[in-house]
Amino acid sequence: MSVTPSDTGAVPLQFASFREFYPYYLEQHSHPMSRRLHVLGSLLALAWAVAAVASGHYPWALLAPLAGYVPAWIGHFFYQRNTPATFRHPLYSLVGDWVMVGEVLTGRRRF
């Protein structure tokens, strides 16, 4: 089933592939501050997990998602003013986070 995001803000129920989902993901992160908070949150989560493992405090790594999602959700609720796609499409959203981080770090997407 092919679904294209609409200007009405309606959330499609499903996507046939990540390729189909990613334009919707980018639309949901169009506010620059939302994107910045997502990228910073993702990198913070990665740093938190690496630090937990490197220090031998393995259980602390379980808090890494929280370190990533709190900034991202602040971006959604206070800047983007929408509901995080994670609530309906958790796996695609996780992949989208890291694809967007990669695009920002390589200069293919504006930070």
56 inside domain: yes
5 inside domain: no
46 inside domain: yes
Q: What pLDDT score was predicted for residue 12?
A: 57
**Per residue in 26-81, pLDDT tens?**
999 999 999 999 999 999 999 999 999 999 999 999 999 999 999 999 999 999 99
Of 10 and 70, the structure prediction assigns the larger pLDDT to: 70
91 inside domain: yes
- DSSP for the chain reads ------TT-PPPS--SSHHHHHHHHHHTT-SHHHHHHHHHHHHHHHHHHHHHHHHT-GGGGGGHHHHHHHHHHHIIIIII-S--GGGT-HHHHHHHHHHHHHHHHTTSS--
Q: What pLDDT score was predicted for residue 111?
A: 84
Count of domains observed in the chain: 1
13 inside domain: no
Q: What is the pTM of this model?
A: 0.84
Give the structural domain span for 82.
18-105
111 inside domain: no
State yes or no: pLDDT of 86 exceeds 50.
yes
4 inside domain: no
Q: Which two tokens stand for residue 47?
A: 């740093």
86 inside domain: yes
Whether the Cβ atoms of residue 98 and residue 43 lie closer than 8 Å to each other: no
